[in-house]
């Protein structure tokens, strides 16, 4: 590369050689030679750009030259930049930064915040403490969020407004009236959802209570500032007094009155429709195989038997869920959710050493390594199966998680 005149590339390879072996004299000499030439080339280009008043290009060319010099210094190859070049750089940089500063202010006046932020960021990289550059950069970043929040609040897009003001506050906690506006968006958009619970449509006593417990646990994990979940126990008496149910037969006046008394906008409940549990029979089948026998350093394979076991348990749960508006009595969400959970075991048992057991194929010793691996997997496979009660709980949990997703979707659809 050096022979071809590619001094910058050559210098990089010589540099890597010195990193690996600091005592490599030839590489050090070559790095001095090519590094000095590469630095000279960069400074020559810098000089030409200064003469042509190409301020930005000249600045970044000089910075490349300085970076090269500093890099080589890390391996004790010291190169210098003439003081006149440094003075020219500082003068060009000062002029460029001043021009960019004025341009950034102009962008701000025209509310072109993205362009202004980009300009102030560049100035900050070149001169970190230049005038009020940090304040202007921050203003250019957060003012668009503030304006977005104000606009969204006026359009009753409370979630959009909330997250816009939240971004503002995270950057500057005291920026204008962002805290007050964030609280306003949250207050106006807040969804209070009361959980009525589940009616039991099955013949299993208190199964609906278990469904409610799993559902409440899942709903409590929702991280949505606009959703407030109220346990039915906190207002059950008022619900009973107003005879509120999930049949949908709630006239507007009753619904509005009930919602006002309860302090909720919506209620959610449903009916547990079906629970079925199936405990499978554990089957046992005798299998023929071969056991490895080592005697006097000779290996033989003798016929033997082992047993194959299989079992499958199932649980199925279905429920209907509804969300009702206490302002209008309208059913906003109505879904039937069904979940089936199964567990199965499939394993071999052998009275001897598992590693000495080999499969049989068509009454002969099976030499297939694939079948041996499969046999080993089944010999070491899980033998305990989850009970149908455990699977039923898992079905309840799966339904609860689906309800959680439905409630989250409802909240995001209702409050945008």
pLDDT of residue 247: 43
3-state SS of the chain is: CCCCCCHHHHHHHHHHHHHHCCCCHHHHHHHHHHHHHHHHHHHHHHHHHHHCCCHHHHHHHHHHHHHHHHHHHCCCCCCCCCHHHHHHHHHHHHHHHHHHHHHHHHHHHCCCHHHHHHHHHHHHHHCCCCCCHHHHHHHHHHHHHHHHHHHHHHCCCHHHHHHHHHHHHHHCCCCCCHHHHHHHHHHHHCEEEEEEEEEECCCCCCHHHHHHHHHHHHHCCCCCCCEEEECHHHCHHHHHHHCCCCCCCCCHHHHHHHHHHHCCCEEEEEEEEEEEEEECCCEEEEEEEEEEEEECCEEEEEEEEEEEEEEEEEEEEEEEEEEEECCCCCEEEEEEEEEEEEEEEEEEECCCCHHHEEEEECCEECCCHHHHHHHHHHHCCCCCCCCHHHHHHHHHHHHHHHHHHHHHHHHHHHCC
Mean per-residue pLDDT of the chain: 91
State the Cα–Cα distance between residues 248 and 324, nearest whole angstrom. 8
- Residue range 190-416 in CATH 3.40.50.10610: yes
| Confidence grade of residue 295 (pLDDT, cut at 50, 70, 90) | confident
Residue with tokens 């890099």: 71
Options 1.25.40, 3.30.160, 1.10.287, 3.40.50; which CATH number does 100-189 get? 1.25.40
- How far is it, in rounded angstroms, from Cα 93 to Cα 66? 14
CA separation for the pair 132, 340 (Å, rounded) = 63
The model's confidence at residue 367, banded by pLDDT at 50, 70 and 90, is confident
Domain boundaries in the chain?
Answer: 7-81, 100-189, 190-416
Render pLDDT for 46-95 as a digit per residue (tens, 0 to 9): 999 999 999 999 999 999 999 999 999 999 999 999 999 999 999 999 99
- pLDDT at residue 252 in the model: 46
Task: Kindly report which listed range (49-53, 94-98, 243-247, 374-378) carries the lowest average pLDDT score.
Answer: 243-247
Question: pLDDT grade, residue 246 (50/70/90)?
Answer: very low
Average pLDDT over residues 255-269: 69
How far is the C-alpha of 387 from the C-alpha of 314, rounded, in Å?
9
Q: pLDDT at position 398, please?
A: 96
């Amino acid at each position: 590369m050096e022979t071809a005149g590619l001094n910058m590339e050559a210098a990089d390879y010589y540099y890597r050689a010195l990193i690996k072996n600091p005592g490599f004299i030839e590489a050090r000499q070559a790095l001095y030679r090519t590094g000095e030439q590469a630095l000279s080339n960069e400074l020559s280009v810098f000089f030409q750009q200064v003469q042509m008043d190409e301020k930005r290009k000249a600045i970044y060319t000089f910075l490349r030259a300085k970076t090269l010099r500093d890099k080589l210094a890390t391996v004790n190859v010291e190169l210098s930049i003439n003081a006149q070049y440094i003075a020219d750089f500082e003068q060009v940089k000062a002029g460029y930064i001043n021009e960019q500063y004025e341009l950034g202010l102009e962008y701000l006046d025209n509310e072109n915040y993205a362009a202004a932020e980009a300009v102030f960021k560049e100035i900050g990289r070149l001169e970190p403490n230049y005038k009020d550059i940090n304040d202007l950069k921050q203003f250019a970043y957060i003012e668009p969020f503030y304006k977005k929040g104000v606009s969204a609040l006026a359009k009753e897009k409370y979630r959009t407004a909330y997250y816009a003001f939240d971004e503002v506050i995270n950057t500057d906690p005291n920026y204008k009236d962002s805290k007050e506006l964030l609280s306003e968006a949250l207050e106006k958009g807040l969804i209070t959802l009361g959980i009525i619970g589940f009616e039991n449509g099955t013949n299993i006593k208190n199964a609906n209570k278990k469904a409610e417990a799993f559902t409440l646990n899942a709903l409590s994990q929702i991280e949505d500032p606009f959703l407030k979940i109220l346990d039915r126990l906190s207002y059950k008496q008022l619900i009973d007094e107003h005879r509120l149910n999930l049949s949908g037969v709630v006239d507007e006046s009753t619904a509005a009155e009930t919602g006002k008394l309860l302090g909720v906008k919506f209620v959610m409940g449903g009916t547990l429709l079906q629970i079925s549990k199936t405990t499978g029979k554990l089957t046992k089948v005798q299998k023929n195989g071969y056991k490895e026998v080592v005697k006097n350093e000779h290996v033989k394979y003798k016929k033997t038997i082992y047993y194959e076991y299989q079992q499958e348990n199932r649980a199925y749960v279905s429920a209907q869920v509804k969300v009702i508006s206490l302002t209008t009595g309208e059913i906003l969400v109505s879904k039937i959710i069904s979940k089936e959970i199964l567990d199965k075991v499939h394993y071999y048992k052998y009275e001897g050493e598992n590693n000495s057991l080999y499969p049989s194929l068509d009454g002969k010793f099976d030499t297939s390594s694939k079948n041996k691996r499969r046999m080993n997997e089944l010999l070491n496979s899980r033998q305990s199966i989850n009970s149908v009660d455990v699977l039923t709980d898992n079905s309840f949990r799966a339904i609860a998680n689906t309800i959680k997703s439905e409630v989250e979707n409802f909240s995001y659809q209702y409050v945008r």
